Amino acid sequence: GDSVTQMEGPVTLSEEAFLTINCTYTATGYPSLFWYVQYPGEGLQLLLKATKADDKGSNKGFEATYRKETTSFHLEKGSVQVSDSAVYFCALSDLITASKLTFGTGTRLQVTL
Amino acid sequence: SAVISQKPSRDICQRGTSLTIQCQVDSQVTMMFWYRQQPGQSLTLIATANQGSEATYESGFVIDKFPISRPNLTFSTLTVSNMSPEDSSIYLCSVTRGGEQFFGPGTRLTVL
């Protein structure tokens, strides 16, 4: 079945540091890929998405590129802020079940001054 | 976007009892989804609820334990039956709109 593997956290960075959170997936066919974010005390929000190979999703300074050849969708940000402290989830949805999402285990990011 | 509310936001329950969680969406949707997020873990889909038909359950989840109702296109309930401490989790409902999936704020359940 489909699966998503993310790097384990927590990840602790200083403000303005470069962020990479690795995500790889296993799926049949060509899934859509997502990054969701869960800020402390809040619900899950879509951060960015990509629906086909080589697509780059971007939002709030975060980027991720759909790499079919490496089955990866790594999340990056050039300069993190304290307000980026949250849990980040990589997820995929396959074309057959459409909206059903398979999530990674989540990576907690803590950004300090 | 979609605005989703859930009730209750949190509850503490005794072993062996049942709790029904409500999910309300601001406009009509075809499918609603129920997820579970166990402490320190990721989200796992419990079931998909379509209006007018029985819910479709994922492997490892059964209707007797997690009965779902979907009486109309804006509302659904999930019941956690005969609870045990292992059922302590955050339960979230979600909907799809415009190719994006939106999540409710979650119901934090603690079973003693």
For residue B18, give Cα distances in angstroms to A74, B90, B92: 40, 15, 17
How far apart, in whole angstroms, are the C-alpha atoms of residue B62 and residue B22? Answer: 19
Q: Do A22 and A8 touch, CB atoms closer than 8 A?
A: no
Percentage above 90 pLDDT, chain B: 78
Write the pLDDT tens digit of every residue in A37-57.
Answer: 999 878 889 999 999 999 999
* B31 reaches A (C-beta below 8 A): yes
Q: Nearest CA to CA, how far is B45 from chain A (Å)?
A: 8
pLDDT in tens, A83-93: 999 999 999 98
Pairing outcome for strands B68-72 and B31-37: unpaired
Contact predicate A19/A11, CB 8 Å: yes
- Interface touch A105/B41, C-beta < 8 Å: yes
B86 φ/ψ angles, rounded to the nearest 5 degrees = -65, -15
Name the more confident of A7 and A11. A11
In this structure, which amino acid lies at residue A22? N
In A, which residues are within 8 Å of B101 by CB distance? Answer: 34, 46, 93, 99, 101
Residue whose entry in the numeric block shows the structure tokens 């049942």: B18
Average the pLDDT over each of A40-54, A93-107, B21-35, B85-99 and give the range with the smallest value. Answer: A93-107
CA distance B57 to chain A (A): 12
What is the Rg, in whole angstroms, of the alpha carbon atoms belonging to chain A?
Answer: 13
Q: How far apart are the first and last CA of chain B?
A: 36
**B9: distance to nearest CA of chain A, Å?**
11
